Structure 1
Amino acid sequence: MATPKPQRTPEQIEDIILRKIFLVTLSDSMDTDSRIVYLELTAAEILSEGKDLKLSRELMERVLIDRLSGSFQSAEPAFQYLINSYRRAYEEGKKIGNMKDKNLRSDMESVVRQAKKLLVSYCRIHLANPDCFGANDAPNNKLSVSPLLPFIFSEVGGGLDGFGTSSSSGGVQCPPGFLKEFFEEADFDSLDPILRGLYENLRGSILNVSALGNFQQPLRALLYLLSFPVGARSLVNHPWWIPKGVYLNGRVIEMTSILGPFFHVSALPDHTIFKSQPDVGQQCFSEASTRRPADLLSSFTTIKTVMKSLYKDLGDVLLALLKNIETRENVLEYLAEVINKNSSRAHIQVEPLSCASSGMFVNLGAVMLRLCDPFLDGSLTKRDKIDPKYVFYSNRLDLSLTALHASSEEISQWINKDNPGSIDGSRQHSDGENRLLQSQEATSSSNIASEPSLLNVNPTSSGGGGKSKYTFTCECFFMTARVLNLGLLKSFSDFKHLVQDISRAEDALATLKAMQGQTPSSQLELDISRLEKEIETYSQEKLCYEAQILRDGDLIQHALSFYG
């Protein structure tokens, strides 16, 4: 008769499970696994305290600290060790589910949960304090990439660039439940330094990426972080949420703010310094005159598809922040800063080094139109929440040069319809009244002398001095109108000028070729070659505008509905 196998005690089972999770031993065994570390000093201390050399939940943290603090040959780096230990804990947890003894199973499940919680906690400590357990795998300067980022990429899935090429997280797989526990079960102060680094990494990963590049993966990672309340709060408190500085302008905000590079992703041409890769014009529309119509149509479809994906994800980012009452005001401040610092985009000639790109403003316009959808329904049920006096009295947007299709007398009557009367023209005027005066000048500068002065306008109490609290609907409406003016409408104007440039260049080229046919010269040959290159560049830019804007019927219809 076979001798029954001796039953292990709960303490022995706990010791076995913890040794498998942490890959440590307190006895000098002949284990062939090179990853297992013998904690000799720890074992000596435990023996001196009169305790058994068995791992337990009471010794768990002590053993983990000694493992991380020590220098052991062939041992994994700290972060890799911690996350692999979490993975082993997850696997052990699945095995425990097969135990028949309910009490023992419940007890061991508690041990594994405690181990996982401890490992996550030390991951946070290590990432926030890289020098704590050695900095060989932690971001020790602003240029380093957080080792956590590949695991976030693996969680959100790989992206596809414009050519359909898939990008992955380099074979990294995040242990199930790790990220959720990492971001949910900690306070703001613990996670903020880690999140700041992640946001800077994401910004850097998408800097100068075009519509044909892999923008989906960083954008999804950003959305994932914003799904946690601490992530949203950390983003709007980041120093680069709205950059500060004496030389701050529209282009600086686009390139240095956290969200700016995400909005910069585009198919539209930009200044050479800020040109994105892959080059959309070169990749899709080079030598377009010799390409088959089907090839051009395929390029148009590809760009339209990726831009729709971009608009949706960017809209989801803003919505995630706007739905959070604690971060909504920060979003409005960011949008206002972007708009105000780029007001010179309304000029005929735009300075590309001080203004954000057309791509950013077309993208922002598409996103703002999506935000306007709920209150631009056919029945106009929320129209009463849009206060026209926002143009004059809001301190958020700089709309001082907004022209009104009305005489100054009509403006005066409209402003004072709820509070008739006049005031002494010599009194100090509020910002709102001064804005009225500037709008009057923008409306009809030739008639100012003969029109009643707005100095005698007495603003109603509901809008005086910009002190009113405007609804989100109202602010979103006027911000959208301004963004469309600086972005989509400006791009239509740029496209028209581009077509005119092409026409002039083609006329000049025809003239030069005629001259070359009559009196050939090397200089004419150089001029012809230069013009041909210019026309090729212009043609690529023209097709880029067509691809992102003119062939996107939904975007144009959306904009027309806003104005309608």
Structure 2
Amino acid sequence: VLLGAFGPILNIVHKEAADSSLLVFRQHWFNVLHVFSTVEPLAKLLIKHCTPVSSHGSAFSDTILGALLSLSCLPKAYGVPYDFFDKPLSQSPGSVEGNIWTALDALSESLHKVFHSLLKCSTEVRHLTLRWIAMCLHANAARGKLWNAQGNVGATLTASDGFMLNLGNVLLRLCQPFCAKFTDPKILRVDPTYCAAEPKDEADSRARGVHMEGMSKETCLIPISDNETRPVA
């Protein structure tokens, strides 16, 4: 019932955002998404609508949140021409850069409010939101490989640079309350062993609050010996 009643609204926002660019995005899109993110049934519908069927990282760009995260001064996809600085000799770079920074700041602030509202909506929505972020990061983990810097065909399977920069900006804004002041006791709530944790199943993931996949297999900054195990809280 909810999908039939509110699904078309999300489809309209998705289409408009996908056809838009950084300097002409509409603020009312975020007003709509903010309403969805504060009502639990609608928030669940939004997350479901934004969860792609494909396991490729680029599939996350073809969702509502993905379309908004893809708004950038960088191309939305590999091989697409740049929207800005196409005529550097006849354009004033200062004014263009100012418009870009202003638009990016407004976009990041609006995206942060949507994600923050989803995380605050309810325990279930928080779990679904964190799982969506974890799935997105895991699906785009290949961006950290050497071939990503070469711009080859494999780059089409992952999200764009603009998408990941915007997502990183949102995550940094969400982290700010915990690390803005090193004397703030909130920093003690951060588990330094999170990267070594590996949930057994969905129930264990919910109980322990661990959503990232494959982090325990990543290379550590400080390697451990063969007969040593990484500590996990």
TM-score range, shorter chain: 0.7 to 0.9
* 1:234/1:194 CA distance change after superposition, 3 Å: same
* Residue 272 of structure 1, CA deviation: 5.5
Cross-structure match for 2:187: 383
Among 114, 119, 137, the residue aligned to 1:317: 114
SS of the residue aligned with 1:371? helix
Among 135, 143, 146, the residue aligned to 1:345: 143
TM-score under structure 2 length normalisation: 0.81
* Residue 345 of structure 1, CA deviation: 0.5
Among 385, 404, 413, the residue aligned to 2:220: 404
* Residue 207 of structure 1, CA deviation: 0.9
* Residue 407 of structure 1, CA deviation: 4.6
Cross-structure match for 1:133: none
* 1:287/1:224 CA distance change after superposition, 3 Å: same
* 1:391/1:229 CA distance change after superposition, 3 Å: closer
1:306 aligns with 2:109: no
* Cα RMSD after superposing both structures: 2.3
* 1:272/1:357 CA distance change after superposition, 3 Å: closer
* Residue 336 of structure 1, CA deviation: 0.4
Distance 1:349 1:312 in 2: 32
Contact kept? 1:254, 1:261, Cα under 8 Å = yes
Which structure exhibits the higher relative contact order, with contacts defined as CA atoms closer than 8 Å and separated by 6 or more residues? 2
Provide structure 1 residue ranges, at least 5 long, that are not aligned to the other structure: 1-188, 410-452, 464-564
Superposed CA offset, 1:383-413 (max 9, x none): 222222211113432224533333524xxxx
* Residue 216 of structure 1, CA deviation: 2.6
Distance 1:329 1:306 in 2: 30
Distance 1:227 1:406 in 2: 41
Contact kept? 1:227, 1:320, Cα under 8 Å = yes
Contact kept? 2:39, 2:121, Cα under 8 Å = no
Superposed CA offset, 1:98-128 (max 9, x none): xxxxxxxxxxxxxxxxxxxxxxxxxxxxxxx
* Residue 305 of structure 1, CA deviation: 0.4
Contact kept? 1:206, 1:262, Cα under 8 Å = yes
Cross-structure match for 2:196: 392
Larger C-alpha radius of gyration, 1 or 2?
A: 1
Cross-structure match for 1:12: none
Distance 1:228 1:309 in 2: 24
Identity %: 23
Cross-structure match for 1:243: 52
Distance 1:217 1:407 in 2: 48
What is the one-letter code of the residue matched to 1:217? H
Distance 2:215 2:106 in 1: 32
What is the one-letter code of the residue matched to 2:107? L
Contact kept? 2:78, 2:160, Cα under 8 Å = no
What is the one-letter code of the residue matched to 2:165? V
Alignment of 1:461-540 (within 5 A): 463=233
1:288 aligns with 2:88: yes
Cross-structure match for 2:128: 330
Number of residue equivalences: 214
Contact kept? 1:250, 1:341, Cα under 8 Å = yes
Distance 2:222 2:144 in 1: 21
What is the one-letter code of the residue matched to 2:189? K
Cross-structure match for 1:72: none
Distance 2:191 2:41 in 1: 34
TM-score under structure 1 length normalisation: 0.36
SS of the residue aligned with 1:280? coil
* Residue 331 of structure 1, CA deviation: 0.4
